[in-house]
Amino acid sequence: MVIGSGLMGFNGFYEQAKKCSNNLNGFNGKVQVVSHIDADGLTSAGIISKTLKREGITHDVDFVKSLDKEKIEDLADQNPEFIIFTDLGSNLTNKLKELNSKIIISDHHEPLNEKENNILHLNPHLFGINGANELSGAGTTFFLSKALNKNNTDLADLAITGSIGDLQDSKGRLEGINRKIIKIGEKNNIIECKKDLRLFGKQTRPVYKLLEHANDPYIPGITGNKKETIKFLNELDISLKNGERWRRWINLTQEEKKKIISKLIHYCLSNNVPNEETERLVGEVYILLKEEPGTELRDASEFSTLLNATARYGHSQTGLKLCLGDRNEAYKKAKKLLKQHRRNLMNGLDLVRNKGVNKLSDLQYFDLKNEVRDTIVGIIAGMSVNLDSIDRDLPVIAFAEKDEDNIKVSSRATQKLIFKGLDLGKALQKASSEVNGEGGGHDIAAGATIPKGKKEEFINKLNKIINHQL
């Protein structure tokens, strides 16, 4: 699909960003921003909110799990003069065109095939750029913001945090248009990008916890085993404590880090961890230079987890304030939420481990019912891909209760399956619409909402669709 001047690739995309931003230039009414409740949605909202503030444009920011019928009806009732959708909206242009508001969509999810003339639509897919791994919602919104005013390049750290929150570095480093953002961030001394261990928690956690909670890759005999983890590290003669305090990864010397990494790689390779997983132990990491070292804010991966701990639990304004620079109340509250969030994720993974999975010919699935929130079942589905009990040659479909009438579906796959032709976004869109639900997303990660009682029918339809794709 071609819009604007017909230019494809980044040039076409950026021209469209300018066209969209021109409509904000000099606007003196009020803007309603609607964004998504995950880390990418929060950082997208942070970017657009800062941008509008700098232009002196008044605005409100709302967060939603998904743009369902009720939310669109609400918006129709409120009838704002101008709406900006960030990190959502692209798969609903046929419904959003009915609104009487002026609309910008700044999103990276797979768009519908028709073009709507009354919507200013910025989406990398429209220019041949893959929104699943080459640019996030925050990245897309960063270019919208930069097109409006070059000084907004200082928001590159939020853009990169959004991309990391959406796991766009799952091949070991960010790619595609994301790299342009890194370059801008490096040039402005906002982002440092370097090769390092990719395990979670390098800024804030004791070193042994990085290994104990290793999930990508899952390290057999180490993950989940504190005693073995500490033994593993002790054998390297590395002191784990400095006085009473546990040392963190950032406290280790270069020499110590090298020793641990090389022993870890060796251990994985001799314990049958597949090569492509072992390779993910080391890769690019993204340091946010404006933030205090040793805090969750300093590392894009920890920052994105901190953000996920807010809006996914109904505390979206806390997450937004963090993105806008609040390092007092909002930060304190987010850190509290983070503790519970981590517990919930670990409990969720334990549930998957204990329940096991059901297999059909072309997918595997598990149902966490009301035992986890519908807003984090997607993260658990993603982390579960690395469990021993999961077949890496089949996509994972996870269910959780959404409300009295609906079930939330989350699905995740591996890059290998995408190469074979799998597109979960399209598959879930189709299967859910056939059972009166709605869904969509990316080739590698997608979600849906379906009516209660339709689970069996849905999973069988989905199995057939995926069978066709592969």
Quote the least distance from Cβ 15 to ligand C5P, whole Å: 26
Closest CA to 352 of 330, 372, 368: 368
Quote the least distance from Cβ 138 to Zn ion, whole Å: 7
Give the residue, chosen from 66, 140, 223, 318, that forms a contact with ligand C5P under the rule CB under 6 A.
Answer: 66
Residue 4 binding ligand C5P, by CB under 6 A: no
Torsion angle of C-alpha atoms 111, 117, 119, 122, degrees rounded to 10: 50
**Token couple for 7:** 């230019």
Residue 109 binding ligand C5P, by CB under 6 A: yes
- Measured from the CB atom, is 57 or 417 closer to ligand C5P? 417
- Measured from the CB atom, is 146 or 213 closer to ligand C5P? 213
| Pairing of the two strands 406-412 and 396-401 | antiparallel
Torsion angle of C-alpha atoms 103, 108, 110, 115, degrees rounded to 10: 30
- Measured from the CB atom, is 162 or 185 closer to ligand C5P? 162
Strand partners, 120: 104
One symbol per residue from 2 to 41: x for binding Zn ion (CB under 5 A), - otherwise; what is it?
--------------------------------------x-
- Measured from the CB atom, is 40 or 367 closer to Zn ion? 40
Residue count at the site for ligand C5P (CB under 6 A)? 32
Of the ranges 157-165, 275-283, 320-328, 440-448, which one interacts with ligand C5P (CB under 6 A)?
440-448
Quote the least distance from Cβ 166 to Zn ion, whole Å: 5
Binding partner of residue 161 among ligand C5P, Zn ion, none, CB under 5 to 8 Å per kind?
Answer: none
Distance CA 298, CA 285 (A): 11
Residue 299 binding Zn ion, by CB under 5 A: no
| Pairing of the two strands 191-197 and 282-288 | antiparallel
| Residues 336 and 327: beta-carbon distance below 8 Å | no
38-77 positions binding Zn ion, by CB under 5 A: 40
Binding partner of residue 66 among Zn ion, ligand C5P, none, CB under 5 to 8 Å per kind?
Answer: ligand C5P
Binding partner of residue 137 among Zn ion, ligand C5P, none, CB under 5 to 8 Å per kind?
Answer: Zn ion
Quote the least distance from Cβ 214 to ligand C5P, whole Å: 7
Distance CA 299, CA 157 (A): 10
The vertex-356 CA angle with 354 and 358, nearest 5°, equals 160
SS3 176: coil
- Measured from the CB atom, is 4 or 206 closer to ligand C5P? 206
Residue labelled with tokens 């220019």: 127
Distance CA 198, CA 38 (A): 21
- Measured from the CB atom, is 21 or 223 closer to ligand C5P? 223
**Token couple for 382:** 């993603």
SS3 376: coil
**Chain center to CA of 454:** 28
Quote the least distance from Cβ 151 to ligand C5P, whole Å: 30
Give the residue, chosen from 53, 74, 183, 246, that forms a contact with ligand C5P under the rule CB under 6 A.
Answer: 246
One symbol per residue from 315 to 344: x for binding ligand C5P (CB under 6 A), - otherwise; what is it?
---------------------------xx-
Quote the least distance from Cβ 161 to Zn ion, whole Å: 11
Residue 215 binding ligand C5P, by CB under 6 A: yes
Give the residue, chosen from 17, 39, 87, 198, that forms a contact with Zn ion under the rule CB under 5 A.
Answer: 87
Distance CA 42, CA 55 (A): 20
Cα dist from 251 to 158, 201, 245, 254, 426, whole Å = 25, 12, 11, 10, 45
| Residues 136 and 159: beta-carbon distance below 8 Å | yes
The H or E element containing residue 446 is: strand 445-451
- Measured from the CB atom, is 83 or 446 closer to Zn ion? 446
Report the side by side order of strands in the sheet with 406-412.
358-359, 364-367, 396-401, 406-412, 445-451, 438-441
Quote the least distance from Cβ 338 to ligand C5P, whole Å: 8
- Measured from the CB atom, is 298 or 442 closer to ligand C5P? 442
* 151 secondary structure, DSSP code: G
One symbol per residue from 176 to 205: x for binding ligand C5P (CB under 6 A), - otherwise; what is it?
------------------------x---xx
Quote the least distance from Cβ 163 to Zn ion, whole Å: 9
Quote the least distance from Cβ 131 to Zn ion, whole Å: 8
Distance CA 423, CA 82 (A): 33
Give the residue, chosen from 104, 160, 164, 345, that forms a contact with ligand C5P under the rule CB under 6 A.
Answer: 345
Neighbouring residues of 379: CB distance < 8 A, sequence distance ≥ 6: 308, 345, 348
The H or E element containing residue 269 is: helix 254-270
- Measured from the CB atom, is 131 or 224 closer to Zn ion? 131
Closest CA to 385 of 424, 409, 353: 353
Binding region for ligand C5P (CB under 6 A): 66, 91, 109, 200, 204-206, 209, 213, 215-216, 244-246, 248, 305, 342-343, 345-346, 378, 410, 438-442, 445-449
- Name the residues that contact Zn ion, by CB under 5 A: 40, 87, 137, 166
